[in-house]
A and B are shown apart, each in its own frame.
Chain A
Amino acid sequence: MATPGCRDFQNSFESWMEGELPPEARAHVSDCRSCARLIEDLSSIRLAANEWNASEEPPARIWTSLRAQLVEEGLIREPQSKQKSGLLHGWFPQTPRPVLAGAYLAALVAIAFSMVGPVKRHVNHQRWMEGTENSTAMLSAQLNTAEQNVELADPNPVITASLHQNLAIVDNYISLCEKSVSEDPEDEVARDYLFDAYHTKADLLAQISERGDYGR
């Protein structure tokens, strides 16, 4: 049964939550087992809540799915070949596209797609995954070789920095897509995005190559 002291304590307790108890409240608590237990319990709850605050990394598929939705709604630009050039579009909008310069890189993507295909529905998923891994490894290696052979240095340091930045963005995107596919090999959207990411990088390298040829 609450004593008048307890009632006073209870009525004022809410305003003391965040700070020290005033002396009269401390005096009451030292004499009242019930209110002392209350303080002890609430402290335990705060402590347990604080320990519950482990920040958790959300799965990569949230961004993959969110991005797809944003593209579908037209809120962000789909990285299709014409718009992919938007990564560099601001720097050299008038650059013509010599056919031969990007042919090798375009062929890489075409070969990869013809070997496995970005999405084959209703197929054995294990086989698809194995095929994807092989194809991805080969395509990834070829893209890396192509990247090493492409001249990334431009006389204009701003453009050079931009090229590196754009490649880093695409590489991050590829890593993200690879992670999504490895987390959920049956996620067809993730597979689509992985191949699209490779396509984006190939296209970007092709444009850099074009830029180099044009500048020479």
Chain B
Amino acid sequence: MGCVPAGNVARTRRTEPGELPEPDAIRLAQQGDAAAFERLYRLHNRRVYSLCLRMVSNTAEAEDLTQEAFLQLFRKIATFRGESAFSTWLHRLAVNVVLMKLRKKSGNETSLEEVTEPDEESGGPRRDFGAPDLRLSGSIDRVNLQRAVEQLPPGYKSVFVLHDVQGYEHNEIAGIMGCSIGNSKSQLHKARMRLRELLHEALRDQAREERKVAGTASGSGGED
């Protein structure tokens, strides 16, 4: 693990004519220019906020995390020398802020490597494809998906949200997460497999509930 950040996450808000370009905003922000700080915030706030929101599924926490990520960014901006893309740097900070938060919540003092590679006993994927009795096709709604994603180990969650939800490429995720491209692919596969299990469990629970309700309804219907 532990590779050099290499990605170029360029999904920022487009610069309109007359707006300060990002490199100029970075240079001015390094000199303490308030408008430049705001410009950088406006360029990246939507994606960082969306990332945080998908990761923690709580708007209040997502707001705090977004603020914390930008605060860390602006505290360190004087040290930015452009070796990696600014957006990659920012998203790496944001992911780390979220992972730290998730770790604190779970009381789990694990390293980034560990949260991206949970072992089989701690909720890792099982290489058992089985033959689930319910079909996921057409039955995954936003609520189901969110609940399942919430249950993923933090590292899986990060890679899944970055790739499948936000559309980053594996080389970009490698830059953000500080891992290899192969590792990013592997984590994504495991995340999807774990999600599949979780979604099937949710569907089975749902079907069981529906049967119970139907049974109760038919039972109570005869007493009228």
Contact = CB atoms under 8 A, between A and B. Distances in A.
Chain B interface category by residue count? 35 or more
Provide the main secondary structure of the chain B interface: helix
Contacts of A54: 50
Provide the main secondary structure of the chain A interface: helix
Contacts of B50: 53-56
Given A49-B160, A70-B74, A75-B74, A58 B63 contact: yes
Contacts, number: 132
A62 B32 contact: no
Q: Which of A55, A66, A69, A79 has the most CB of B within 10 A?
A: A66
B34 interface: yes
A14 B168 CA distance: 18
A111 interface: no
Q: Which of B53, B63, B129 has the most CB of A within 10 A?
A: B129
B192 interface: yes
A44 B45 contact: no
Interface of A: 2, 6, 10, 13-15, 17-18, 33-35, 37-38, 40-59, 61-63, 65-67, 69-70, 73, 75-77, 79, 169
Interface of B: 32-35, 37-38, 41, 45-47, 49-50, 53-54, 62-63, 66-67, 70-71, 74-75, 127-132, 135-142, 145-146, 160, 164-167, 170, 185-186, 188-189, 192-193, 195-196, 199-200
Q: Which 8 A-B pairs have the closest CB atoms?
A: A49-B164, A58-B49, A48-B140, A76-B34, A41-B136, A14-B189, A44-B136, A34-B131
